[in-house]
Amino acid sequence: MPEWARRLSAGADPALVARVVRLAAAEWVHPERVRRALAARLDAGRSTAAAPLIEALEVCGAGPLPSAAAAERLACRLLRLGTKIAVVGEPGYPARLSTAWPELGAPLWLFVRSADGRVPHGTAAVAVVGTRHPTLEGLRTARDLGRLLAGRGVVVVSGMARGIDQAAHTGALDADGATVGVLGTGLDVAYPAGHAGLRDAVAASGGLVSEYPPGTPPRPPNFLWRNRIVAGLADATVVVEGRARSGALQTARVAAAQGREVLAVPGSLYQPASRAPLDLIRDGARALTRLDDVFEVLGALPPPAPPRGTQTPFPGVDGVAGEVLRLLGAAPATPDRLAAASGHAVGAVLAALADLTARGLAATTPRGVVAVGVPPEGAGDG
Amino acid sequence: MSTGLHGRARSVAVVGLDAVPVAIEAHVGGGLPGMTVIGSSGPAAREAVHRVRTALSAAGLLPGARKVLLSLAPADVPKAGARFDLGMALAVLAAVGTFPETAIEETAAIGELALDAAVRTVPGVLPAVASLPASGVRRVLLADGNAAEASLVEGLAVVPVSDLAEAVAVVCGERAARPVPELPPKAAGWGAPDLADVRGQAEARRALEIAAAGGHHVLLVGPPGCGKSMLARRLPGILAPLSHAQAMELATIRSVAGRFAGRSGCALDTVPPFQSPHHGVSAPALLGGGSGVALPGQVSLAHRGVLFLDELFEWSRAVLEGLREPLEEGVVRIARSKATVTYPARFQLVCAANPCPCGGGDACACADEAIWGYRAKLSGPLADRLDLAPTLVPLTADDLLAAHDGEPSAAVATRVAAARAAATHRWGQGALNADMPAARVRAVTRPAALRFLAGAVERGELTGRGYDRVLRVARTCADLEGADVVTREHVLEAHAHRLALRAAGRTPVGGRA
């Protein structure tokens, strides 16, 4: 058995790992084919343990089995990326995800890039998902939710997509918590572009996982399968925003099929981005009416960490900037109105707005300035 | 042997803003009767023959037909228009001995002749007359309508003449020169409208104040009817009145453009000009042009004042491209078939635009990305030069019913003048913060302020060029406060004034880079 198999394993049987790598190196092997083989075995009533399934794939004849050299090349690539391989049924495979095997979308194997080669286990996990084109409100909700959950030690799972997903990851990182990102591409592919920093941060916190081998480009079907893993890694899924027929809806439905709780953030009836969550609520999902509601679907959690000591939530924001920040909300405000309401000269208000924007506490929209990161009521001590 | 009779008169040609003395010679001699003009060009000049001959006979001053040859020298200076008619008639009369040559040796004549011998006004009289004292002319004869602008020039006698007969009578000494018609006093309340008329719009007022104090260009963003052009019109009222030299320069441009009367038709206008061309205007009308010798365009008529471009996104890109030269160099150079002229065009730009594709207002349902995309259309020479972009909001009922007016222009103008004085003291006469090299501004800026700007560049909110521009605006904010050093507060405000210009703004969450 090759030496690299041991190094690529985080608890799984190295022999299985070696066979998995060899299979993964074949270009005719991709998750779709694996699923077909799995479905065939299910229909035939055959065993769906990992080892027999791998054997079935090796002899299925859909293509040549890669040479040992090709397998070694893939292994080197994986080692360079710092990844490990988890195989279903073996130690090191996420426990929650294995309940979704074999019928509910769990992958046969998973590439994991994290500090210890595994995803966090033993603690509660919640998936926060949504559209790639959210409103500022949605982004704020996702980020606040991520922050709140991570602050209580809950792992935040999402898909690393632009928009809601990244906001949730960022919120968890804000609170120094653990967050796991599930990719629809290879772990080395830079998609979405320009977010390498976030990817690295997520990998360092909870981990980055993918069932696709390195180099796999983003293709729309990949993301649908990825969503099943997102739901499978969590105890509950929260849909923050999504348009009608969006991927977030699919994630929620898979989560329900997997027996997990689904929550949705009710938004405005007129906001297209709130259509998916509203439809889910209509179909029976739980409405998230306060950020805290998410804790009701989780079991007992350890008590929250004591607050970090300062009185104001924003150390260092005082004076005009502090007053302006208190006046800002989710509705866009113009400098004129802020000046009139605060009684300060408009020049000072403008300077305060630039300051707040630079700190990430406010954001400029075409209609005015909105607050970002202000904890809404009912957020506890987080 | 007939040597013929010879006569001379003086006039002035105007090329661009420059005046060139013209000597008119008349030769009356034997030969078939007829009149010919050489050394002049253009249709009006070609028709001069008919005008002069008809006017002479209408005035009963030239009995009989003669062979007359008129020459305008120097021949290579373009001499368009009919301004030499009066001079030509006088030269002919001098040739036939109506008066001795010495009578008009130190006299110039500028005017068109009507067929009934009346003297008509011509454009460009001010620069023409201004050049005369230097060439030894003591007296100028011209039309009544041109007398007002000519009287702005000192050092020579301005003699209005209503027709050729009067001109001859004055030259012969038979009649005294009429005094120049009295200029009507400046109408009370004349000047730019007052800022007190504007309610609310604190951000826009502040932006205008900064623009006036530092010479920065402004984009007013707001839905139709919220007062963008009302505010723009009030900018000249907080700029300093023009100095005498500047007012003369502006009057010269107006004179050449044929618009001397301006808006007041009175004594020298020292209110900074305000030009508001329509977005469908042609490039020559905006920048200057026309065939033959180019006339000044709107940008030159706005020299030392304000050029207002309403509906900025309706302007054609090609026309806006033409603004590059005046914005960069303060002049417009126009080459035409006859001559290349340079007109000054140093103005302050105020643009106005709707906030979004639907026009904005309460009913606006445009998505945020659509709005940023709409604003990203701003390109060309303006994109980098607009430093302040306040947003105007429609007034609410409360605003309209509020008891007090806005701050009047006089108060704002005082602050602006103080800030400009500080800049002059620091950089030298006539220098505005908007024109100063960035390095010199950096030298008087606090490091904390520079660090904030560097941070903004890193966050992608500012380009390198934007960095320099924000610095200059911050320098103006400091001047308005009377501060010597630019601090972080000033830089923050200056940066905030351009936030509406950010194309495709970054969302606040979206990755921790």
The CATH number assigned to the domain holding A358 equals 1.10.10.10
Spatial separation of the C-alpha atoms in residues A19 and A12, rounded to whole Å: 12
Q: Are residues B378 and B236 in the same domain?
A: yes
Spatial separation of the C-alpha atoms in residues B16 and B123, rounded to whole Å: 12
Q: DSSP state, A330?
A: S
Residue A164: pLDDT above 50? yes
* Residue A29 maps to a domain: yes
Judge whether B496 is closer than 8 Å to chain A, CB to CB: yes
Of the partner residues B203, B366, B509, the one whose CB lies closest to the CB of residue A336? B203
Q: Are residues A103 and A194 in the same domain?
A: no
Residues 6+ apart with CB under 8 A from B217: B211, B327, B348, B349, B350, B351, B382, B385, B386, B387, B388, B434
Q: Nearest residue of B to residue A273 by CA position?
A: B367
Find the helix or strand (DSSP H, E) in which B352 lies. strand B348-353
Spatial separation of the C-alpha atoms in residues A276 and B167, rounded to whole Å: 90
Chain-chain contact of A195 with B203 (C-beta, under 8 angstroms): no
Residue B315: pLDDT above 80? yes
For position A381, what pLDDT does the model report? Answer: 38
Are A136 and B368 in contact by the 8 Å Cβ rule? The answer is yes
Q: Are residues B39 and B139 in the same domain?
A: yes
Selection from A152, A208, A209 nearest residue A175 by Cα: A152
Instruction: Point out the domain boundary residue: A264, A297, A330.
Output: A297
Judge whether B362 is closer than 8 Å to chain A, CB to CB: no
- Render pLDDT for B404-448 as a digit per residue (tens, 0 to 9): 677 888 889 999 999 999 888 888 877 788 888 878 888 878 888
- Render pLDDT for B196-241 as a digit per residue (tens, 0 to 9): 888 888 899 999 999 999 999 999 998 888 889 999 999 999 998 8
Q: Are residues B287 and B238 in the same domain?
A: yes
Chain-chain contact of B508 with A360 (C-beta, under 8 angstroms): yes
* Residue A312 maps to a domain: no
Domain of residue B261, CATH code: 3.40.50.300
Q: Are residues A257 and A153 in the same domain?
A: yes
Spatial separation of the C-alpha atoms in residues A301 and A124, rounded to whole Å: 8
Chain-chain contact of A139 with B508 (C-beta, under 8 angstroms): yes
Contacts of A201 in chain B (CB under 8 A): 512
Strand partners, B14: B19
Cα dihedral sign, A133-A137-A139-A141: negative
Spatial separation of the C-alpha atoms in residues A187 and A217, rounded to whole Å: 10
Residue A382: pLDDT above 80? no
A174 phi/psi in degrees, rounded to 5:
-55, -40
* Residue B428 maps to a domain: no
Spatial separation of the C-alpha atoms in residues B306 and A41, rounded to whole Å: 81
Spatial separation of the C-alpha atoms in residues A305 and A310, rounded to whole Å: 14
Chain-chain contact of B203 with A339 (C-beta, under 8 angstroms): yes
Structure tokens given for B246: 């500047």
Instruction: Point out the domain boundary residue: B172, B187, B204.
Output: B172
Q: Are residues A133 and A104 in the same domain?
A: no
For position A2, what pLDDT does the model report? Answer: 81
Q: Nearest residue of A to residue B478 by CA position?
A: A347
Q: Are residues A37 and A108 in the same domain?
A: yes
Q: Are residues B300 and B388 in the same domain?
A: yes
Chain-chain contact of B203 with A350 (C-beta, under 8 angstroms): yes
Spatial separation of the C-alpha atoms in residues B345 and B323, rounded to whole Å: 10
Structure tokens given for B157: 């006698």
Sequence letter at residue A254: V
Structure tokens given for B200: 């609310």
Per the prediction, chain B carries an average pLDDT of 84
* Residue A377 maps to a domain: no
Q: Are residues B241 and B349 in the same domain?
A: yes
Closest CA–CA distance from residue A273 to any residue of chain B (Å): 11
Domain of residue B505, CATH code: 1.10.8
Judge whether B451 is closer than 8 Å to chain A, CB to CB: no
* Residue B188 maps to a domain: no
Q: Are residues A219 and A332 in the same domain?
A: no
Q: Are residues A78 and A215 in the same domain?
A: no
Q: Is A306 exposed, middle or buried (0-12, 13-18, 19+ CB in 10 A)?
A: exposed
Structure tokens given for B336: 């035409």
Cα dihedral sign, A168-A170-A175-A178: positive
Domain of residue B101, CATH code: 3.30.230.10
Q: What Rg do the C-alpha atoms of chain A give, in angstroms? A: 23
**Cα–Cα distances in Å, from B243 out to A217, B270, B346?**
68, 7, 15
Contacts of B503 in chain A (CB under 8 A): none
Residue at token pair 């769990």? A106
**Confidence class for position A301, pLDDT limits 50, 70, 90:** confident
Residue A256: pLDDT above 90? yes
Q: Are residues A130 and A240 in the same domain?
A: yes
Chain-chain contact of B206 with A350 (C-beta, under 8 angstroms): yes
Q: Are residues A262 and A327 in the same domain?
A: no
Spatial separation of the C-alpha atoms in residues B313 and A209, rounded to whole Å: 48
**Confidence class for position B502, pLDDT limits 50, 70, 90:** low
Q: Are residues B222 and B332 in the same domain?
A: yes
**Confidence class for position A377, pLDDT limits 50, 70, 90:** very low
Cα dihedral sign, A70-A76-A82-A88: positive
Q: Are residues B151 and B208 in the same domain?
A: no
Of the partner residues B206, B356, B510, the one whose CB lies closest to the CB of residue A166? B510
DSSP secondary structure letters along B271-334:
SPPEE---TT--HHHHHEE-SSSPEE-HHHHTTTSEEEE-SGGGS-HHHHHTTHHHHHHSEEEE
* Residue B179 maps to a domain: no
Q: Are residues B82 and B155 in the same domain?
A: yes
Q: Is B41 exposed, middle or buried (0-12, 13-18, 19+ CB in 10 A)?
A: middle
Sequence letter at residue A330: A
Q: Are residues A85 and A166 in the same domain?
A: no
* Residue B246 maps to a domain: yes
Selection from A89, A101, A82, A87 nearest residue A229 by Cα: A101
Residue at token pair 């004869």? B141
Of the two residues B491 and B442, the one the predictor is more confident about is B491
Spatial separation of the C-alpha atoms in residues B55 and B109, rounded to whole Å: 15
Spatial separation of the C-alpha atoms in residues A261 and A239, rounded to whole Å: 11
* Residue A308 maps to a domain: no
Per cent of chain B over pLDDT 90 is 35
For position A304, what pLDDT does the model report? Answer: 63
DSSP secondary structure letters along B113-168:
E-TTSBEE--S-HHHHHHTTGGGT--EEEE-HHHHHHHTTS-SSEEEE-SBHHHHH
Q: Is the peptide bond before A192 cis (omega within 30 degrees of 0)?
A: yes
Instruction: Point out the domain boundary residue: B386, B406, B426.
Output: B406
Contacts of B371 in chain A (CB under 8 A): 366
Q: Are residues A155 and A263 in the same domain?
A: yes
Contacts of A372 in chain B (CB under 8 A): 508-509
Q: Are residues B155 and B104 in the same domain?
A: yes
Spatial separation of the C-alpha atoms in residues A196 and B393, rounded to whole Å: 40
* CA torsion angle A262 A268 A273 A274 (round to 10): 20
Residue B162: pLDDT above 80? yes
Chain-chain contact of A170 with B511 (C-beta, under 8 angstroms): yes
Selection from B254, B255, B265 nearest residue B303 by Cα: B254
Spatial separation of the C-alpha atoms in residues B447 and B450, rounded to whole Å: 5
* Residue A381 maps to a domain: no
DSSP secondary structure letters along A54-91:
HHHHHHS-SSPPPPHHHHHHHHHHHHHHTEEEEETTST
Of the two residues B405 and B166, the one the predictor is more confident about is B166
Are B309 and B350 in contact by the 8 Å Cβ rule? The answer is yes
Judge whether B365 is closer than 8 Å to chain A, CB to CB: no
Spatial separation of the C-alpha atoms in residues B461 and B53, rounded to whole Å: 71
* Residue A120 maps to a domain: no
Q: Are residues A139 and A227 in the same domain?
A: yes
Of the partner residues A336, A354, A366, the one whose CB lies closest to the CB of residue B393? A336
**Confidence class for position A263, pLDDT limits 50, 70, 90:** very high
Spatial separation of the C-alpha atoms in residues B174 and A42, rounded to whole Å: 127
Residues 6+ apart with CB under 8 A from B252: B17, B126, B127, B130
Q: DSSP state, B445?
A: B
Q: Are residues A16 and A89 in the same domain?
A: yes
Residue at token pair 């402004």? B218
Of the partner residues A167, A355, A366, the one whose CB lies closest to the CB of residue B355? A366
Chain-chain contact of B499 with A357 (C-beta, under 8 angstroms): yes
Residue at token pair 């924003």? A314
Spatial separation of the C-alpha atoms in residues B241 and B83, rounded to whole Å: 33
Domain total for chain A? Answer: 3
B116: left (phi over 0), alpha (psi -120 to 50) or beta: alpha
Q: Are residues B368 and B464 in the same domain?
A: no
In chain A, DSSP finds a helix count (H) and a strand count (E) of 15, 11
- Render pLDDT for A84-127 as a digit per residue (tens, 0 to 9): 999 998 888 998 898 888 888 789 999 999 888 888 887 899 99
Judge whether B402 is closer than 8 Å to chain A, CB to CB: no
* Residue B412 maps to a domain: no
Domain total for chain B? Answer: 3
Selection from A302, A344, A290 nearest residue A322 by Cα: A344
Q: Are residues B38 and B118 in the same domain?
A: yes
Structure tokens given for B187: 């109408």
Core vs surface per residue B425-447: b (16+ CB within 10 A) or e:
ebbeeeebbbebebeebbeebbe
- Render pLDDT for A15-54 as a digit per residue (tens, 0 to 9): 889 989 988 888 888 888 888 888 888 888 888 888 888 8
For position A287, what pLDDT does the model report? Answer: 94
Question: Looking at the predicted complex, does its ipTM rise above 0.90?
Answer: no
Q: DSSP state, B267?
A: S
For position B508, what pLDDT does the model report? Answer: 33
Chain-chain contact of A348 with B203 (C-beta, under 8 angstroms): no
Q: Quote the domain boundaries for residue A79.
A: 3-113
Question: What is this structure's pTM?
Answer: 0.64
Q: Are residues B357 and B466 in the same domain?
A: no
Size of interface A-B (CB pairs under 8 A): 112
* CA torsion angle A343 A346 A352 A354 (round to 10): 160
Q: Quote the domain boundaries for residue B283.
A: 195-406
- Render pLDDT for A115-153 as a digit per residue (tens, 0 to 9): 888 888 878 999 999 998 888 889 889 999 999 999 888
**Cα–Cα distances in Å, from B318 out to A105, B275, B335, B351, B379?**
58, 20, 18, 17, 11
* Residue A52 maps to a domain: yes
* Residue A380 maps to a domain: no
Chain-chain contact of B510 with A162 (C-beta, under 8 angstroms): yes
Are A31 and A224 in contact by the 8 Å Cβ rule? The answer is no
Are B269 and B192 in contact by the 8 Å Cβ rule? The answer is no
Residues 6+ apart with CB under 8 A from A379: A144, A148, A291, A292
For position B152, what pLDDT does the model report? Answer: 85
Best mutation target, A128, A179, A336, A342, to test chain B (most B CBs within 10 A)? A336
Spatial separation of the C-alpha atoms in residues A294 and A95, rounded to whole Å: 21
Residue A56: pLDDT above 70? yes
